[in-house]
Amino acid sequence: MNDHRRLGRELGIFDTDPLIGSGLPYWLPAGAAVRKAIEDYVHELERRNGYQHVNSPVLGKRELYEMSGHWAHYSADMFPPMNVGGEEFVLRPSLCPHHALIYRSRGRSHRELPLRVAELGGMYRSEPSGVLGGLTRVRSIQLNDGHVFCAPEQAAAEVSAALDLIETAHAQLGIEAARYRLSLRGEGDKFVDDPGMWARSEAVLREVLKERGRAYDEERGEGAFYGPKIDIQIADPAGRESTLSTVQVDLYQPERFDLRYAGGHRPAMVHRSIVGGIERLVAHLIEVHGGAFPTWMAPVQAVVLPLSDEQSAAAGDLLRRCLDAGLRAELAPAGRGSLGARIRAHRLVPYQLVVGPREAASGEAAVRLRDGSQAGAVPVERLAAGARPSY
């Protein structure tokens, strides 16, 4: 069984250190490359679908989270406030209050709606030590988050469009959803006490799921504190489920922040995360792919393998051409063992470019794929084109 905690360290994806703290992993070079590839893909996917990207601070005043409702309903999962100059600041538990403030930073016309904003940003959860593990449960999360501010009658279409993006991204990443879940309000003061508001939001989500013909399960008590959500569940090789992507309809925070558009109308706020937290996503991808990531996200996409020292100069030239073409490439020089040993050491690299005397003379390489098949002398530019994600 592929365990991301073991594989992630063996492959140089991530590690931890007690001096940094539990639940606070750091990314090693291979992991940083995988993460950057995913971030670039999602950023471009969002851009092509009408999102504007923003950046916001990881801190906010306590009053911000009192206004958003997090302090009353979610403070048990937040880090305690820090007193700075007589004011209390909090590490944010989510990005939505910041995006609400971005929306209300100026007046909005109905012609601007739907307004779609997205951010890959840090958020922080005060998780108990006993539940932390690898990349799946952490205290510092890089969340692919986004919010759509729209007229209430536009909410269903925006929820459906968000699900389209989620399904597109999952297909590109090689993810199979375990199930769709409609997560509803539970009992107690964890949830906002406004049954009418919950019913209106829930009706939108049910409408979308029905129109899409999507089978789903219902679970009470799994909604956000401010509203219901559609959760896309994934399962690890042991069958343990977790939530990866989500879409939510929020009528609560627009009221709390007094969000308006022309005519004094109140927008709906659709929360959506296409790939969820990057940490949990990468943990799942490590286990799904066993480290043999799809070419577009592989830490090293091409390795250049000179047959002997005599081909070192030609191999160096080829490496430069690979890098210039946008491939993540490296050199495995002849001095590091036999060709077979070097191929085995780079068995997870999608393109293995062997340079012998003939290839050195022609300026080409014999391309070997990681499944062992031979692709012949493929131009570097064509390899680079095949190493890009599709949208």
pLDDT tens-place string over residues 150-176: 999 999 999 999 999 999 999 999 998
In the chain, what percentage of residues exceed pLDDT 70? 100
Closest CA to 162 of 34, 14, 273, 300: 273
CA distance 325 to 300: 14
pLDDT band at 272 (very low <50, low <70, confident <90, very high): very high
At residue 28, does pLDDT exceed 70?
Answer: yes
CA distance 342 to 57: 45
- Indicate the pairing of strand 366-369 with strand 374-376: antiparallel
CA distance 173 to 236: 15
Determine contact, residues 13/31, Cβ cutoff 8 Å. Answer: yes
Select from 3.40.50.620, 3.40.50.80, 3.30.930.10, 3.40.50.800 the CATH code of 4-289: 3.30.930.10
Say which CATH class 300-386 falls into: alpha beta
Helices and strands (DSSP H and E) totals, the chain:
13, 18
What is the four-CA torsion angle of 215, 221, 224, 227, rounded to 10 degrees?
70
In the chain, domain spans:
4-289, 300-386
pLDDT tens digits, one per residue of 295-324: 999 999 999 999 999 999 999 999 999 999
What pLDDT shows up at residue 239? Answer: 83
Segment 174-188 shows an average pLDDT of 91
Q: What's the gap between Cα 361 and its chain centre?
A: 44
At residue 237, does pLDDT exceed 80?
Answer: no
What pLDDT shows up at residue 1? Answer: 67
CA distance 203 to 213: 15
Q: Mean pLDDT of all residues in the chain?
A: 94
At residue 220, does pLDDT exceed 80?
Answer: yes
pLDDT tens digits, one per residue of 63-88: 999 999 999 999 999 999 999 999 99
User: Is the entire prediction scored with pTM above 0.85?
Assistant: yes
Determine contact, residues 88/56, Cβ cutoff 8 Å. Answer: no
Helix (H) or strand (E) holding 173: helix 155-173
What pLDDT shows up at residue 80? Answer: 95
pLDDT band at 55 (very low <50, low <70, confident <90, very high): very high
pLDDT band at 376 (very low <50, low <70, confident <90, very high): confident
Closest CA to 106 of 270, 267, 262: 262
Q: Which residue has the higher pLDDT, 267 or 239?
A: 267
At residue 56, does pLDDT exceed 70?
Answer: yes
Closest CA to 126 of 89, 74, 82: 74
What pLDDT shows up at residue 189? Answer: 81
Give strand pairing partners of 69: none
